[in-house]
Amino acid sequence: MKIKYPTSLKPDSLIGVTAPSSGVEETLHILVDEAKLQVEKKGFKVLIGETVLTQHKGRSASKEKRVEELMDFLQDHSISVIMPPWGGSFAMEILPFIDWDKLKELNPKWILGYSDISTLIFAYTTITGHASAHGVNFTELSAPEWDGLSSMWIDVLSCNENEEITQYSSEKYQSSWDKVYSNPAKGFYLDSQTEWKTLNKEDEVTFSGRLIGGCVNSLQVLVGTPFDNVNNFVNQYCHEEGVIWYLETVGMDAAEIYRALWQMKQNHWFSNIKGVLFGRTSGYKDIGDFTLTDALKDVFESFNIPVILDADVGHTPPQNILVNGAYTTVKYSNGKGSIIMKYI
């Protein structure tokens, strides 16, 4: 079977902002307002959904209301892209209420986000075979100027079927969120030199396959549930090319990361794996002398594949915009990397 790609983003496209997980509390509404302003300056139109500016007990709204608005946006032909304001903790609650059969029949639509939005876009792609995008959340576009990687969301979503697009590793990354929290809507503070690494210390590696992945904290929740369609997805869409997994974590220590990846491995998620992009960790710590390197080796060493660490993925910005389902070639050389995605 063939991955289906959404219609490419156009200069006057409508961006629909809805909150399938967490909404934005009143004190941070400035982030939504400024992001809307900056996106509209780029020539796009923005629709802010009713769920976005409310928040109660970690959720933007009831699961029923969140699903209703999401399904309305997915079925609204005037909306080209769905961008949640940010992640959260409880996106998994809406999955049983989504009409997956209807989504399979609809034309695919771009959904872009990360963190807990991984829960939604990962399920969306693996269940329907429709491409989705892992990258900046809407509120991160509140900055007066976007960094080079974040701004690539426009280029990535504007790419047409059968075309390809190349992204590169960043020059610098943000080591702490403290300044961002103190200065909302001013952008990232990229203060540390980026260096991709390889698990086995290779100077150069190249590998290809179809991209899939997301935030480990969120994906682990799906393992073994009715919304775990990974094996079918790999067999149906990745049989010939294999899979590149991109993974990132937030607030997980080495043991928690190992347990989550071990669980995925035992459920055969990593069958036909060709390589791994593992993002810079956020809120991480070793457990005694057990480190992230130990965890990744214990999980992936038996596959004899390249594993890249400290990639531009996830909660330590900036990050590459990665398309679930796209045929991708990753090239690494001496601390730098490129990601070539083909929409085939």
- Rounded to 10°, the helix 230-237/117-128 angle is 50
Domain boundary pick from 94, 129, 162? 162
Residue after which a domain boundary falls, among 138, 162, 186: 162
Q: Within 13 Å of residue 175, how many CA atoms lie on the same side as its CB?
A: 6
Dist CA 260 CA 214 (whole Å): 13
- Domain assignment present for residue 71? The answer is yes
Residues 133 and 214 in one domain: no
Structure tokens at 251: 């607030």
CATH number of the CATH domain containing 154: 3.40.50.10740
The answer for residues whose C-beta is within 8 angstroms of residue 298's C-beta and 6 or more apart is 258, 262
81 and 136 in a common domain: yes
d(CA 342, CA 41): 29
Q: What are the strands, taking DSSP E only, across the chain? A: 14-17, 45-48, 79-82, 110-113, 132-134, 164-168, 172-173, 192-193, 197-198, 204-215, 243-248, 273-279, 307-311, 322-324, 327-333, 336-342
User: Which pLDDT score is estimated for 181?
Assistant: 87
The single-letter code of the amino acid at 99 is: D
Residue 121 sits in the same domain as residue 140 = yes
The residues, ordered by sequence, that sit 6+ positions from 72 with a Cβ below 8 Å of its Cβ are none
- Reading the block at residue 106, the tokens are 């609809």
Within a domain: 145: yes
Provide the strand spans (E) within 18-147. 45-48, 79-82, 110-113, 132-134
57 lies in which domain range? 14-162
Q: Are 177 and 192 within 8 A, CB to CB?
A: no
Domain boundary among 162, 185, 200: 162
248 and 142 share one domain: no
pLDDT of residue 13: 97
For the entire predicted model, the pTM comes to 0.96
Shared-domain flag, residues 69 and 183: no
Tens place of pLDDT per residue across the chain (344 aa): 999 999 999 999 999 999 999 999 999 999 999 999 999 999 999 999 999 999 999 999 999 999 999 999 999 999 999 999 999 999 999 999 999 999 999 999 999 999 999 999 999 999 999 999 999 999 999 999 999 999 999 999 999 999 999 999 999 999 999 999 889 999 999 999 999 999 999 999 999 999 999 999 999 999 999 999 999 999 999 999 999 999 999 999 999 999 999 999 999 999 999 999 999 999 999 999 999 999 999 999 999 999 999 999 999 999 999 999 999 999 999 999 999 999 99
Same domain? For 68 and 123 the reply is: yes
- How many separate domains does the chain show? 2
